[in-house]
Amino acid sequence: MGANRLVLDSCALSALAEEKSGVRRYLERAIEEKTEIAVPTVVIAESTTGSARDAALNNVLRVLEPTMVELSEELAREAGALRYRARRPLRDTIDAIIVATADASAGSAILTADAGDMAALAAVRRRSPVLLLGHH
């Protein structure tokens, strides 16, 4: 992997909660390499329901203890600029926030199952590689 920080999107977080082996391999490697695991707080908003269905996801967050990255005004503006420059629709705003979060910390990579949208956004600055779940 070679990243200093692994930023998870909602697909990666959900895959962890569902105990899918592909994402587990990435995380085992990240832990072995002492890679920081980061989750933008907007991913929590996108992934949770406020119901009992959140139990598995809450357990993953409790065990992982990821760095939670809050959306600052500066990060929000970076995400907006990325979305605009990549010519992505408003519905890709959270993906733009995830990419901006990764881009803000040198040596970051993004873990996702949504390669198309993330890759288009990450291509704007080419700072953070996109790692696709299930395709090593």
- The domain locations on the chain are 5-132
pLDDT of residue 25: 86
pTM: 0.93
Assigned superfamily of 5-132 = 5'-nuclease (3.40.50.1010)
Per-residue pLDDT tens listing for the chain (136 residues):
677 999 999 999 999 999 887 888 888 899 899 999 999 999 999 999 999 999 999 999 999 999 999 999 999 999 999 999 999 999 999 999 999 999 999 999 999 988 888 999 999 999 999 999 874 4
Nearest to 60 by CA among 13, 20, 92: 13
Beta strands in the chain (DSSP E): 5-8, 36-40, 67-69, 108-112, 130-132
Distance separating alpha carbons of residues 99 and 66, to the nearest angstrom = 17
